[in-house]
Amino acid sequence: MSSNTSSPIVVAMDFDNAKACLDLASRLSPQYCRLKVGKELFTSCGPQIVETLMQKGFDIFLDLKFHDIPNTTAKAVKAAADLGVWMVNVHASGGERMMLAAREILDQSSGQKPLLIAVTVLTSMEQSDLLGVGVAYPIDNQVERLAGLAHYCGLDGIVCSAREAKQMRQQFDQNFCLVTPGIRMADSPADDQRRTLTPVQAMQEGSSYLVIGRPITGAENPAQACENIFNELVQNGFGN
Ligand code: C5P
């Protein structure tokens, strides 16, 4: 779909109310970033908040991580497309038939098609968590398996840790989007993120889009923080 910016920055709008979200949006520019609307904001404010943000010129990544039977997931993806979002995601662990159904419904629709992205293994999960849900493979193997399945099903990319981007980029060509959270500036606190990379490092590892929350949303001047990251990326040959 057509886009408002070439910036790889996607700001995570992790808020529980429209006012806080719109206050921040009014301080950001669609020239330098896109916005990610997740479960908390969407559940609190509904599709209206997505429409309002799009009216302000922002591309929206609707991060609802759909995971259901193929028919239900496909229809949810179609509803996201009808809303006009730029990117939407599903859990790859929903399986081949679910991802194919999501792909097919977008391919058959005549309207705008959002990028369809898969979540592989949540980065919050450790080996013991995988074992708890009956997966005995090492995490890396499971990520590779689900990424390969998403690629086979024609999805446009995956969400992965920036630390996994290099390995994923070796496996998939440049057209396969790698959407990576866990981004921190060299001088910003890690918060609850564990294995972080700077924006430039993440792009060098092969990321396509950088999901950045608190380093921008928590900055004294979010617009400046976002513009600084954008300029640093451009200076290093990423985005323009
Ligand atoms: O504030 P921070 O930059 O840590 O925000 C990162 C965003 O990316 C949050 O919305 C978080 O839920 C999301 N995310 C993540 N790790 C993943 C997937 C999504 O941090 N593996």
- The reply to whether 65 belongs to the active site is yes
Q: Helix, strand, or coil here: 153?
A: coil
Q: Helix, strand, or coil here: 43?
A: helix
Lowest mean pLDDT among 36-40, 82-86, 87-91, 235-239: 235-239
Alpha carbons within 13 angstroms on the beta-carbon side of residue 232 total 16
Dmax (CA) of the chain: 47
Which pLDDT score is estimated for 189? 86
Q: Helix, strand, or coil here: 64?
A: strand
Please tell me the residue having the least CA distance from ligand 1 atom 16: 181
Residue of 33, 211, 216 with the most ligand 1 atoms within 8 Å of its CB, for mutation: 211
Which pLDDT score is estimated for 240? 65
Distance CA 53, CA 48 (A): 9
User: Ligand 1 atom closest to Cα of 14?
Assistant: 10
> If pLDDT is split at 50, 70 and 90, which confidence band does 62 have?
very high
Q: With pLDDT > 90 as the criterion, what percentage of the chain qualifies?
A: 88
Residues lining ligand 1, Cβ inside 6 A: 12, 14, 38, 122-123, 159, 181-182, 191, 193, 211-214
Distance CA 184, CA 148 (A): 28
Q: In the predicted model, what is the mean pLDDT of residues 195-221? A: 95
pTM: 0.95
Which pLDDT score is estimated for 124? 84
Q: In the predicted model, what is the mean pLDDT of residues 147-171? A: 96
User: Ligand 1 atom closest to Cα of 193?
Assistant: 4
Q: How far is the CA of 207 from the centre of ligand 1 (A)?
A: 15
Please tell me the residue having the least CA distance from ligand 1 atom 20: 181
> If pLDDT is split at 50, 70 and 90, which confidence band does 196 have?
confident
Residue 1 has pLDDT above 70, yes or no: no
Please tell me the residue having the least CA distance from ligand 1 atom 2: 213
CA-closest candidate to residue 172, choices 204, 139, 206, 197: 206
Which pLDDT score is estimated for 232? 96
Angle at the Cα of 167 from the Cα atoms of 165 and 169, rounded to 5 degrees: 65
